[in-house]
Amino acid sequence: MFDPTAFDNMKVVVEGAIYDRDLDGELLVTNREDLVDLANLSRTFKLAFSLTQSNRSNLHAELKIQAGLKNLAAEILEMGDSSTSAGCVVTVAFHLTHANDEKIFFNIQKVLEEIWGGERKIEQVVKINPIKKTVTIVNEATVQFNRLVVEDQIGDLTDMIDYIVLTLKELEGVVR
């Protein structure tokens, strides 16, 4: 039997918390990825979901947990200062389809900064087809935490789901 890594423990707790909300009817899980990259010996777990009470098919969230070789080795081999390397990178992404309107971009930014705080790295990346003259774009707004999340903070990950739900509700008003 092996001792699960921080990545394994965080993944199981987050997955369980989100699926509990799916079973309760609050959230709808729309995609799940649990990847092992053998080329660079990293692991990635992604869970995408939306609000069940939403009538917006153009808005969903994705919670991603990643651990690279350095993170896994620091924990398993207890190398060097494992307290600074043993952990995971957590990213929250919100996928939205909306009009290509500068006001909407600023409103999205404002919502994300109000809920997640100014010390987080918040970024919006837009996909547009320049050949088609559509008025809508696909926006991926991400929130990054600028540090590793360690196993001692596993409770913060479940609390984070409340912030994601709140953000989805606020973004619904922005992308009407």
Read off the pTM. Answer: 0.91
CA atoms within 13 A on the CB side of 154: 15
pLDDT at 176 over 80: no
Which residues 6+ apart lie within 8 Å of 53 measured at CB? 26
Among residues 4, 81, 17, which one has the least CA distance to residue 43? 4
pLDDT at 78 over 90: no
Question: What tokens were used for 85?
Answer: 């390397």
Other beta carbons less than 10 A from residue 18's beta carbon:
22
The predicted-structure confidence for 33-49, as pLDDT tens digits, reads as follows: 999 999 999 999 999 99
Question: What tokens were used for 168?
Answer: 């989805």
The predicted-structure confidence for 142-172, as pLDDT tens digits, reads as follows: 999 988 998 889 999 999 999 999 999 999 9
Q: How far apart are CA 124 and CA 36, in angstroms?
A: 27
The predicted-structure confidence for 46-75, as pLDDT tens digits, reads as follows: 999 999 987 677 899 999 999 999 888 888
Domain ranges, ordered by start, for the chain: 6-174
- Contact between 37 and 44 (Cβ < 8 Å): yes
